[in-house]
Every structure is written in structure tokens, then in C-alpha cells.
Amino acid sequence: MSFNYHDGVLYAEQCSVAELAAQYGTPLYVYSQQQIMNNWQQFATVWPAPHRLCYAVKANSNLAVLHLLAQLGAGFDIVSGGELARVIAAGGRADRVVFSGVAKSRAEMAEALAHGIYCFNVESAAELEQLNEVARAHQVMAPVSLRVNPDVDAQTHPYISTGLKTNKFGIAMSQARDIARRAQELPNIQLQGVDCHIGSQILTAAPFLDAADRMLALIADLRQDGIAIQHLNMGGGIGISYQHEQPLDVSAYLLELQRRAEALGGLTLMLEPGRSIVGNAGLLVTQVAYHKAGEDKDFLLVDAGMNDLMRPALYQAYHEIIPVQQSAASPLLVDVVGPVCETGDFLGLARHLSASAGDLLAVMNAGAYGFTMSSNYNTRPRAAEVMVIGDQAHLIRERETVSDLWKGERIVEVPR
């Protein structure tokens, strides 16, 4: 791993996290370039051409992260026109972009068609019809993959489970063949694949392979119908170890997926990893403001809150919290809570930590769905972001100023 203690001080690669906090302030996101590259290679080494890897931009959309992955040959999975603009700005290739999402607008469709993206992951019959209209208006063909809901329980948090028939995502398996036939009839639609995404933070291969078997059976049926499916996109969802869980054996899963797909022949496989690329490559540094002794429990009040890292409040997600400077003092049982005016504003509950005012803490595994889900709630500027490369640190996003937060707002005078 790229985050380790040296002489009792936490380092990111060869940079002292304490020195980074002193230079750039807190709260502060710190990313390890080497860890991102290592995570990417874990997939790439067992995923030969023509198979494709499309990084899920929503996990971490900083231009420096996207540029690094583009240099490594990544495609990109986007869910908005804004994410497409980010990919292009970072040097990513539009012809390696897949566009997911349940409610794409006409404007987003037109922009993606103009850039020549690889395909749209279409999630409903209504979206298919609208995309055909937009493509016809622009006199182009829209490349399409149908996102099918395989009704597989990923056994994950309900907010990040997407593969059940009760979820908003995808086309029901029972409707897939009819909608595929309709796609074949539409004059400005080029149906080239099917895809699925069953959820996030999955740590066993069984749900993925169950979904793959159902999708491969669907492809066989569609080919019998005369529909030439060229690719199967199995989405993302591979989890990371937040609480010392046993991680998924990525290589074994990918090799087994390729083995099962070989029976059909002529099929390009695609994946959309996000969290598994950047999750453990980032941490959030926060400074303790106060140690508050309560009647029933103690609190460490820190300067990072739920607006900086939403996952604990939204999902009750666990992030390990460790001191930046190790201490010999006996730890206390504390809740690590932020300054946001909400009872749900916490980074960690019931943690054994020894820290006092001025000390620094590192919230680990914060590289995915950290900054991208952050907000300005309570008129709080968003954190700075730093990329570490060996013994060098690079500021890849400046800290917002308070005046940045009302840029674009206008005062309306009260009539007298």
C-alpha cells in the first residue's frame, strides 16, 4: 500500500501527510498516483484486447485522475454530459466512452453523438425512442447497448444495489428481447451490445458470475433472433476492503468471466471499475478542533464534516480513522464528528483513538465517492485535493474560498 507509517508519522508514498496538511491546510484529500496505477494494472494485466476497461468517472472525477487513466489507456463510463466534458478536458478519447444513466436529456444525447462516443447504455424503451429521434435530427446513427436488469441480489447496501427488479436501473430481463427487436427496427439506432450493473462494494465473485450467466443466455437468445450482439458490459461494483474484509480476487473473477464468454464466441467483454481503481488510493486529512467529554461518550470534533465525506452519513459506511502522528497515550472510545449542524454529521462512531486539539487524523479509503459527493452545505468551501508522486506533491484542485460559493448569485432589492 502507498500509505504507511515511518518513524511514527503517516506517509503518502514518500510525502509526510503532516507536512502536506501544513502546506495545503485541512480538510485535505490526498491521492497516491502509484496506488491508482497499481490498481489499474490489476485489471489490465488479465484483460487482453479486444476487451475494454472503462473507468467509472463518478467515483473520482478530478482532471488529474482522469488524465492519468487516459494515459494508461482507459475508456470511461459516464453518467452525465458534465462527466463527458471532464473526460474530454482531461485528454480522454470520446470513442472510448460509454454513457450510462437512467434520465439522459436530449441535449446530453446530442452532445455525446457530436463527440462520437463508443455507445449509449440505454436503460428504458422510452430512452431508446428518444435517442432515435435525436440521432435522426442530427442525421447520425446512435450506437447502443441495452442495460438489462438481471434481477441478481448483490447482497450489498440497499442504496447501492442496482440489479434487482425493484431498482430503477435497467430493462427487465423479461422485456429485453422485445426491446432489442424494437432497437433493430429503429432507423437511427445501431444495437451492438448488452450490459448490466448489479450494485457496488461487492466482495465475492458469485453475484457477478450469476449475472454473467443470465446475460450470456440472453445474448444467445438474441443471436438466435438474428440480432448480432458484439459486446457484453458487466459494469463495475467490485468492492474494496474498508474494514479488513477479504477482497475479491480480481484476476480469478476476470479469467472466469472470459472463460464463460468464450463459449459464445465473437464477444468483446467490458468492465466499468471505479471504486476498485481509486478507493484505497486516497485519504482525507482532518484536524481535531476539540476533545469533548460527554456524559455518556466522548467526542473528537474535527474540521471535516459530512459535506466533505458523505458516505458515513448516507450509507453508514465505515472508514478506518488513524492518527497522522502515532501516540503512546492510551486510546479512548470516541465518536469522530464534524462541524456540520446535523446529528448525522459523523466520520466514525465508537472508535478507539488518542487525540487532542490540533492533532491530525486520516480517514482512509476515501479516494472514491469522497470529493465527488462533497457539497457546500452550511456554506462550507470544499477541500483541496493533492496528488502525490513519489516524494513530490501536486495541488490538483485548489481549496474553494467562501466568496467562490456565491459566485453567480444575485441580490434582489426589496421594493420601497
Binding annotation for substrate: 275, 311, 315, 342, 369
State the DSSP code for 202.
B
Distance CA(155)–CA(169), nearest Å, equals 17
- The H helix count followed by the E strand count for the chain is 11, 21
CA angle 295, 301, 306 (to 5 degrees): 115
Contacts of 244 (CB under 8 A, 6+ apart): none
Instruction: Give the residue from 353, 365, 311 showing the smallest Cα distance to 329.
Output: 353
Q: Dihedral through CA 317, CA 320, CA 325, CA 329, nearest 10?
A: 110
Distance CA(239)–CA(201), nearest Å, equals 4
The answer to whether 169 and 152 are in contact (CB under 8 A) is: no
Distance CA(336)–CA(285), nearest Å, equals 13
Which residues are documented as binding site for pyridoxal 5'-phosphate?
A: 237, 272-275, 369
Residue pointed to by grid coordinates 441495452: 146
Contacts of 169 (CB under 8 A, 6+ apart): 102, 123, 147, 149, 162, 163, 197
Question: Is 341 part of the annotated catalytic residue set?
Answer: yes
Give me the phi and psi of 196, to 5 degrees please.
-150, 160
Instruction: Give the residue from 374, 399, 373, 401 showing the smallest Cα distance to 386.
Output: 399
Which residues are documented as binding site?
A: 237, 272-275, 311, 315, 342, 369
Instruction: Give the residue from 384, 371, 364, 307 showing the smallest Cα distance to 24.
Output: 384
Active site residues: 341
